[in-house]
Amino acid sequence: MDFSSHRHQLDIAGSRLSYLDIGTGPALLFGHSYLWDSDMWAPQIALLSRQYRCIVPELWGHGQSGDLPESCHSLLDIADHMLALMDALQIEHFSLVGLSVGAMWGAELVLKAPSRVKALVMLDSFIGFEPEVTRAKYFGMLDIISQAGAIPAPLISAISPLFFAQDASSQSPKLVAKFEQYLASLTPDAIPTLVSLGRMIFGRRDTMDFAEQFTLPCLIMVGVEDKARSVLESYLMHDAIDGSELVHIPNAGHISTLEQADVVNQHLSQFLARVL
């Protein structure tokens, strides 16, 4: 699916933010995963843009967006940037659909502007503090990437499986190969932004401390084979956020939007139709 005719750019905090703006109707703001871009939402955009206005920004250093702004130091700053995007588009009210870090900054945005966000969907994410063991592991990986000015082949072999279901190499070989080729193709000038962002993500604050403030309709979805963000973490969020709904996505890892697009689309469209 080619959405290039719907791509736009906006200067925010001194850097270029690339985003898609497609469809009409109630606005949906999407947040993609670390190391991915707006393409990971393609099946959802194709369906939802028929009745919603889909705004799909690309994180700093991802897709066609520019480098991390110098003033950006945390996911709270990224939430500010995404609010600035919606302000520039004169969109007062919208719903948020985020996967992984997209839901992490999405939750921060809800806390910053609760009156503007109508509903929150969090896929394959965890808005709590990064567990110490995984934080140390990921920071170690980021150190290696920073020193190498690239993602070395052995690290690609370690990172790639974190994003997919167990049998993805046989069930979705093109998807896996494309992702691994992307990681291998990263140029030295792209690395500082990716490393800085990684540190922000895995060194994030514990937004679960504010769970009682999430009083809007909230859908939590998780791939049952997600290795990067466990099903348990989604249970913890579901328990902490009153009235939230929890959905398990079978045969899906971290990038459930592509691995099980039909299942994700079904639950997303049913939830949005019910709450908007």
Structure-block tokens of residue 106: 């999405």
Sequence-distant (6+) residues with CB within 8 A of 48 are 23, 28, 54, 265, 268, 269, 272
> In the prediction, which pLDDT does 237 show?
98
Q: Are 236 and 210 in contact (CB under 8 A)?
A: no
The CA distance from 216 to 245, in Å, is 11
Scanning the structure block, which residue is given the tokens 């249970």?
Answer: 235
Structure-block tokens of residue 189: 């000038």
The CA distance from 163 to 35, in Å, is 10
Indicate the residue type of 236: L
> In the prediction, which pLDDT does 1 show?
82
What mean pLDDT do residues 113-124 have?
Answer: 98
Q: Is the pLDDT of residue 14 over 90?
A: yes
What mean pLDDT do residues 183-190 have?
Answer: 96
Q: Is the pLDDT of residue 176 over 90?
A: yes
What mean pLDDT do residues 21-47 have?
Answer: 98
pTM higher than 0.95: yes
Per the prediction, the chain carries an average pLDDT of 97
Q: Which residue has the higher pLDDT, 1 or 202?
A: 202
> In the prediction, which pLDDT does 98 show?
98
What is the set of domains in the chain, with CATH numbers? 4-129+204-275 (3.40.50.1820)
Sequence-distant (6+) residues with CB within 8 A of 84 are 12, 13
What mean pLDDT do residues 99-118 have?
Answer: 98
User: Interior CA angle at 70 toward 68 and 76, to 5°?
Assistant: 70
